Structure 1
């Protein structure tokens, strides 16, 4: 806050902020106001409203000059955004690229129907089968991103988590490693589904199917950008069928089935189970250390989200053959079971 207050005192021409932080400065930073504002831009306006920022926006709009230019941007327009249009704009003009929720033509989209109890095994099969590509894997919870990152690393893949419970510095560090191709797999919650332009993303996987269909468009939009091609694979369990059908209705397209022979997948089951066990042990250990630090004890400090030693990368599963990592962040094959 202090550093930002000093910067704001220099009267910058452009201020980029979240609604909550902007309200903090309006209320607590002496001399800071928006009376001379000329342009107000709200990016990802629907997401801002979904994150319960409506009260903050109301406070901001009340202190802005009436004579201004206001712009709202959203790839997925919602009724809430339309309501905000009426509240904050005078004589608005709507510019629409398309009336349908569409994905780009160069994006190949697949679904993979799986039994829930073997979900991790199917994920490992996909990651191994598509090794050599840069991937983003989306999950619904922060805990799942961490667990999958530990599990995949124990199988020899260079995976790194990204989620909202990480500090800002850790999130930026994870993103920097993925952008630099030091890590080939980024496992994230929807915190990475918008606003990121990483040209080298080849594949997007939905480990957890999004509960809101429009979030699917944002997730798969991380690949096949600026005329490039890309692939998106959505894992669908027996409990996800309705959510999957909603996505197909929204985009107006039937997805193709991704070929994953069951016998080839289940070859990996034993090794995946061992990696799951190691991941669970690591999670329990990290939880105990967090509790210890809260009580004032001496737990292990630093960033545990991306340390090879902490996550047991070198403790490769004994059964099966683990491949060597290639240059550029382990883009080589992790391991491969023999096909029958």
Structure 2
């Protein structure tokens, strides 16, 4: 059974009373049940698995994990999975493992698979959107993930893309769990072919067959870059990673190349072919600004920065449907 904040404690307590063989849980909610749910214990636990342990500790779940370790028997098998081995992970390993055997799948933590093709586009900051639209047209019909640095930029891009007729859906940390799962399901099933996301989608998600990853905004560190582009070219399949690099990103980009241990190839473009989209993109940008303004104005009324989308915007029937999608998907 699954234990998260998405389901009520009472419903979970009833399910735990049936003594499930496997429990998948977030640390905080599991501790809550261990301390408050009568009759529930982990005294007979045989296997403890901590997946994405580095991320759990980065999200300050350390105290909850320490409490869980006090509730489980000493005689058990523990599996700790982590993309990196930080000092926090080393401390957790010492606390939770006895005579551990370490298995490393790569000596270079920034190594990428041979089936992944990586390119960059060096462009003026003011032309990021028009180059993005050019790339999406170049790779039309493919499943594409676009990464941004902020929630606001994720939402703005999703609105912009929808106003241009692309099947885009946003995913970020300000969406509730139901909305996140809904967005992921639509992307997985192909109902939406483009997922615009913050780094909440950079790791730990089961999204099969992503063809292209686009870094609309470069991340601040090389580790996050690797996690992002690792969304494609999985399980032996091929994939493409494209990074938009502006005059303000050079230092970050050079650090990423240094971590990768190689120079990336520049993606070939023709300026006149890119600028064909300029007028339509500028119109879509104006529409997105209006929608974002409306969303900010309704923030207090609807309890979320990113609900709404039924006010403002352009008046055509097509764009009205895009607004309805905003209301539906966050």
TM range (shorter): 0.7 to 0.9
Partner residue in 2 for 1:269 = 278
| Match status 1:200 vs 2:230 | no
For 1:243, which of 248, 252, 255 is the aligned residue? Answer: 252
Deviates more, 1:285-294 or 1:94-103: 285-294
2:298–2:308: 8 Å Cα contact kept in structure 1? Answer: no
| Match status 1:232 vs 2:255 | no
| Match status 1:253 vs 2:265 | no
1:153–1:313: 8 Å Cα contact kept in structure 2? Answer: no
CA drift of 1:108 comes to 0.3
| Match status 1:146 vs 2:155 | yes
| Match status 1:209 vs 2:212 | no
1:312-339: CA deviation from partner (whole Å, max 9, x where unpaired): 6984999xxxxxxxxxxxxxxxxxxxxx
1:150–1:311: 8 Å Cα contact kept in structure 2? Answer: no
1-structure distance, mates of 2:234, 2:139: 19
Partner residue in 1 for 2:290 = 281
2:295–2:309: 8 Å Cα contact kept in structure 1? Answer: no
1:135–1:202: 8 Å Cα contact kept in structure 2? Answer: yes
For 1:36, which of 44, 52, 69 is the aligned residue? Answer: 44
1:45–1:81: 8 Å Cα contact kept in structure 2? Answer: yes
1-structure distance, mates of 2:215, 2:290: 25
For 2:23, which of 15, 27, 37 is the aligned residue? Answer: 15
1:153–1:312: 8 Å Cα contact kept in structure 2? Answer: no
For 1:191, which of 189, 200, 210 is the aligned residue? Answer: 200
Aligned residues: 310
1-structure distance, mates of 2:315, 2:184: 23
Q: CA RMSD in A?
A: 2.5
Tell me which of the two structures has the higher relative contact order, counting C-alpha pairs closer than 8 angstroms and 6 or more residues apart.
1
**TM-score, normalised with respect to structure 1:** 0.84
Deviates more, 1:270-279 or 1:24-33: 24-33
The 3 A distance-change label for structure 1 pair 27 and 284 is farther
For 1:132, which of 128, 141, 148 is the aligned residue? Answer: 141
2-structure distance, mates of 1:127, 1:106: 21
Partner residue in 1 for 2:229 = 220
